[in-house]
C-alpha cells in the first residue's frame, strides 16, 4: 500500500497518542474530520494499524524483573523451532521473542514479579525443552529507553 506524507503523519501521531479523537487528529493533520476518519479506516483495513492499546507504567502496579534470555538450541530443525516458538507465544511471561542470527538462536524478553516466578518459568519452558542446549539470563538493572513505535519510511 502506498503511504503519502499525510498517511505517515497520521501514523506517527497515532503511535504517540492513539486516544486522540478524530476531530482533534484531523485538526492537527490539517484535514477535515471525514477525510481523516477515512484515511485512518483505510490504514486499519490495510492492516497497517494493527490495534490500539493502552501502555501502563509497570512501576506503579507491582515491582517486576525484566530478564533478557539468550537461548542456544541443540539442533537446527524447523519442527523443533516451531514447537519452541509455539510455547513462547503461549507463555505469559514472554513479552518479546526474537529468532536471531549468530551464536544464539533466540532472544527473549521475560517479565516476572520475582526470582521464584522466573525459576518456575524456566522449569516449565526452558529446562523441559530437550532441544535447548543452554540459555543465559541477563537481569535488567534499569530500563533506559522503551519505545513501541514502528519505523515509518520517509
Range of the domain at 32: 5-45
Nearest to 119 by CA among 139, 96, 99, 142: 139
| Same domain? 11 vs 74 | no
pLDDT band at residue 56 under the 50/70/90 scheme = confident
| Same domain? 15 vs 76 | no
Nearest to 33 by CA among 43, 42, 22: 22
Which grid coordinates belong to 49?
A: 494499524
Q: What pTM was estimated for this model as a whole? A: 0.83
| Same domain? 66 vs 135 | yes
pLDDT tens digits, one per residue of 127-145 = 999 999 999 999 999 988 8
38: CB partners within 8 A, 6+ apart? none
pLDDT tens digits, one per residue of 17-33 = 999 999 999 999 999 99
The pLDDT assigned to 24 comes to 96
119: CB partners within 8 A, 6+ apart? none
| Same domain? 40 vs 95 | no
Amino acid at each position: 500500500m502506498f503511504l503519502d506524507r499525510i498517511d505517515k503523519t497520521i501514523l506517527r501521531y497515532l503511535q504517540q497518542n492513539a486516544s486522540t479523537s478524530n476531530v482533534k487528529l484531523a485538526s492537527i493533520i490539517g484535514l477535515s474530520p471525514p477525510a481523516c476518519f477515512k484515511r485512518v479506516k483505510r490504514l486499519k483495513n490495510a492492516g497497517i494499524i494493527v490495534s490500539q492499546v493502552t501502555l501502563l507504567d509497570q512501576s506503579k502496579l507491582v515491582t517486576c524483573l525484566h530478564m533478557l534470555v539468550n537461548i542456544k538450541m541443540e539442533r537446527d530443525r524447523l519442527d523443533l523451532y516451531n514447537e519452541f516458538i509455539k510455547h513462547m507465544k503461549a507463555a505469559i511471561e514472554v513479552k518479546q521473542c526474537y529468532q536471531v542470527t549468530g551464536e544464539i538462536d533466540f532472544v527473549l524478553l521475560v517479565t516476572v514479579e520475582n526470582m521464584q516466578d522466573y525459576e518456575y518459568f524456566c522449569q516449565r519452558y526452558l529446562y523441559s525443552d530437550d532441544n535447548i542446549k543452554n540459555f543465559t539470563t541477563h537481569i535488567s538493572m534499569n530500563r533506559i529507553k522503551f519505545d513501541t513505535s514502528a519505523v515509518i519510511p520517509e
